[in-house]
Amino acid sequence: MLPWTEFGVWLQLGYSENFGDHLVTNHRIDVHHHILPPEYASRVGAERIGRLIVSGRMPDWSPQHSIDAMDRNGIETAVTSISAPGLWFGDDDAAGDLARLCNEYAAEMRRDHPDRFGLFASLPLPDVDASLREIEYALDVLKADGIGLLTHYGGRYPGEPEFQPVFDELNRRKAVVYFHPTEAPCACHSLGDIPAATLDFPFDTTKAVTSLLFAGTFARCRDIRFIFSHAGGTIPFLAERISRLEMRPEFKEKVPNGAIAELKRLYYDTALSANRYAFSALFELVESGQVLFGSDYPFAPEATMTATVKGLAELGLDADVLRGIERDNALGLLPQVAEAIGAADGGF
């Protein structure tokens, strides 16, 4: 049973009176929700996918599995993306084919369920020319809600000069860009059997953010809205330490407004982070309007999705702050999602 004060907040937000393990009123927008198209799973392989995950196994997934889990956890719409290990395994042409296959699969899911799924399209990086073509196809033809990227490609981080044309084009389009971490470039330094998702992922997010920060990408590309997974990895904890690099002129010139100011402009999701330890640091760095609901399903199982819902409810947030994190902040970033929901049910 919920404490009375929390019960009151849940009623204000329109929750059902079913306060068991699952909620039945769908209103959340999940910006961190993965798909495993059958052809993608076949080409990449269960072992390669599963070894990065805490469970050690590739999830059993279908669009209906997502919808069922969403319904049980009060999620109205999930914006889908491809997770680690991504698309590129040394063959540019194969990565390009796989990106197109995954993007078209996700677009078909959205056509079949327009108010239930959005789409962050994948790019065949590190092939820049092919990625520029896929941006055009994904945003102009498939009408993707944004672009989903990994934190590095073959050990090359996103701030590297070779990737500037990609971010300049995304900036020109005022795109939403969602980042998901992947395994550290050198797995030889991993801790034995500890899965990459436990430690490598949050630290690789931190590396990607720092790469973009001191390459000047954040300062240059003011019209991109960046979303980083898992509350930004260790960025909230290390923000002040990272900002000390401003003492060096070559770094200072890349962040004319200051490193902390740039980090405060970013968006961060709640996946695996809806707890007081992570939120105490995150809310010191950013306002609540920069925080978005994310589940990491199905790579994190449904129990984790449910724990994220429960964890947010137990943080003692004001009702309007909780509603912003769970819904309104995402709708402000993703107008096509808002339009699809409005067409289906008139909004929340």
Tens of pLDDT, residues 67-86: 999 999 999 999 999 999 99
pLDDT at 3: 35
Residue-by-residue DSSP string for 279-344: HHHHHHHS-GGGEE----BTTS-HHHHHHHHHHHHTTT--HHHHHIIIIIHHHHH-HHHHHHHHHH
pLDDT at 346: 55
pLDDT at 187: 54
* Tally of domains in the chain: 1
Residue 123, φ and ψ in degrees, nearest 5: -120, 150
Q: Residue 305 belongs to a domain with what CATH number?
A: 3.20.20.140
pLDDT confidence of 29, banded at 50, 70, 90?
Answer: very high
Low-confidence winner among 180-184, 210-214, 234-238 (lowest mean pLDDT) = 180-184
Helix (H, G, I), strand (E, B) or coil at 20: coil
pLDDT at 132: 98
To which residue do tokens 């709708």 refer? 331
**Domain range spanning residue 116?**
4-345
Residue 124, φ and ψ in degrees, nearest 5: -85, 45
- Tokens at 18, concatenated: 């079913």
Confidence check: pLDDT of 348 > 60: no
**Alpha-carbon distances of 37 from 40, 50, 90, rounded to whole Å:** 5, 15, 21
pLDDT tens digits along 320-330 = 999 999 999 99
pLDDT tens digits along 120-144 = 999 999 999 999 999 999 999 999 9
**All residues at 6 or more sequence positions from 328 whose CB lies less than 8 Å from its CB, including other chains:** none
**What is the CB neighbour count within 10 angstroms for residue 244?**
10
- Tokens at 168, concatenated: 């300049």
Residue 18, φ and ψ in degrees, nearest 5: -85, 100
288, 332 in Cβ contact below 8 A?
A: no
Query: How wide is the angle at C-alpha 232 spanned by C-alphas 310 and 43, nearest 5°?
Result: 90
Answering whether pTM is above 0.95, one says no
Q: What is the mean pLDDT of residues 20-49?
A: 86
